[in-house]
Amino acid sequence: MIALLMFVTVCLVLMAGYPVAFTLGGVALLFAFAGILAGVFDPGELGLIPNRLFGIISNTTLIAVPLFVFMGMMLEKSRIAEDLLGTMARLFGPLPGGMGIAIIMVGALLAASTGIVGATVVTMGLMALPTMLRQGYHPGIASGLICATGTLGQIIPPSIALILLGDVLATAYQQAQLRQGLWSFDSVSVGDLFAGAVVPGLVLVGMYALYILGTALWRPHLLPRMAPEALAGITEGGRAPSGQKPLAKALLTSLLPPLLLIVAVLGAILTGKATPTEAAAVGATGATLLALLRRQLTLRRLQEVMRGTTRVTSMVFMILIGASLFSLVFHGYGGGDAVERVLTNLPGGAFGAMLMVMVLIFLLGFILDFIEITFVVVPIVAPALLMLGVDPIWLGIMIALNLQTSFLTPPFGFALFYLRGVAPETVSTAAIYRGVIPFILIQLLMLLLLAVWPALATWLPGLLYN
């Protein structure tokens, strides 16, 4: 009961607006000290804190986080997204719903390039939304499409969420095997999750495209063809560039460099030629060279990228330290054993336990970011699920898709807040909320397909890594 009270207290304090990292660590220490004074908590548990902190700072897998963040921010500053969107708009824009298809393609490429949800939503909202509205696109569909494609960075590798999930699930899988008395460990890695996310990510992109194409054919007035003169104005804020390259040359210069970078990074990981950390270093270096070649890298932009990378990385590791303290005290009060008993005794066995965890994570996604859920909730529930025979790769992809759906769901979805901050005042909040509903249904359908056919997530890792 104390462990449950501790979890509820954290949620309430977070909803009050206090910083996540200090809330997690502060609540944990308050409950620990109160328990020591009351004689119900072993003070020796706190002696494990230095070992946990050392484990965090010496974890080589987590070095990939700042490197991938640097890569994404460098690509954003080098105006890759702007050129990509302009080129894809010229390619697909004259077709019914073509601008929507272009946004889906660019969103998928940006997700594979940056892995950062908020940056993609803001970038696409600034560049594409004003032009789409001027050309007669329905505000709800346009805003819903941008929110949905912006969250693809949650599931398409190299996703920051998958890196953190992979590290947490590796530890949880080891704990589950120890509890079962197994000493010859199977392991799960970030590379396994990257491979497992490829097929579901591509299927999801295809489902988005089919919805847009079907809507454009059924109700063409909602997604009209783009006028040729409008295709020149797909830049930040809708301003037209001074000149245009021929389409073939634009495809070569705008599409090929990021594609080569994505293939180099993901190919090295999936083929086992490099670890995610080594591949992230390649990606960061490649993004820097790309910015230099495009003459977009100035000292000021480099400083902005470095500061942004430091800020995001510091946030991630501070939350990880706070979550580590929370997990230590939570397990010290027997919370982990209680969760295991609840999940293993649910009707329906592994199915019932998985369903309950998915619903819990979906609801928590309204008030917690994916980092907090990954570091706080997943370590609590994952060992029990893995002991019930749930595949760790399938579990990781299900959690990532679930969080992606939660980020789209009104009224608390994070992607909705990101777009609301940059959308024109003519686009109402209600229109944004209505616009994401079809994409939420698509996400739920994808979750259902993955639940029925786990091979969508496990086939490629099995093929690559046996």
Tens digit of each residue's pLDDT (9 = 90 or more) over 345-379 = 888 788 888 988 898 888 887 777 777 788 888 88
Least confident of 14-28, 235-249, 317-331, 399-413: 235-249
Give the total residue count for the chain: 466
Flag whether the pTM goes above 0.85: no
Q: Which amino acid is it at 195?
A: A
Neighbours of 57 (CB within 10 A): 10
- Sequence-ordered alpha helix ranges (H) in 151-255: 160-179, 190-218, 247-250
**In this structure, which long-range contacts are made by residues 293-301, counting pairs with CB atoms below 8 Å and at least 24 apart in sequence?**
293/257, 294/78, 294/79, 296/77, 296/78, 296/79, 297/74, 297/77, 297/78, 301/77
DSSP letter assigned to residue 221:
T
Does the pLDDT of residue 237 top 50, yes or no? no
Count of structural domains, the chain: 1
d(CA 238, CA 86): 11
Q: What local confidence, expressed as pLDDT, does residue 453 receive?
A: 92
- Sequence-ordered alpha helix ranges (H) in 115-159: 117-127, 129-134, 139-150
Show the domain range for 150.
Answer: 2-465
DSSP letter assigned to residue 368:
S
Tens digit of each residue's pLDDT (9 = 90 or more) over 398-407 = 999 998 888 8
3-state SS assignment for residue 453:
coil
Q: What local confidence, expressed as pLDDT, does residue 235 receive?
A: 45
Least confident of 39-43, 181-185, 277-281: 181-185
Does the pLDDT of residue 109 top 50, yes or no? yes
d(CA 304, CA 310): 10
Across 5-19, average pLDDT: 82
Q: What local confidence, expressed as pLDDT, does residue 251 receive?
A: 75
CB 72 within 8 A of CB 225: no
Q: Which amino acid is it at 4?
A: L
Dihedral through CA 394, CA 333, CA 367, CA 15, nearest 10? -170
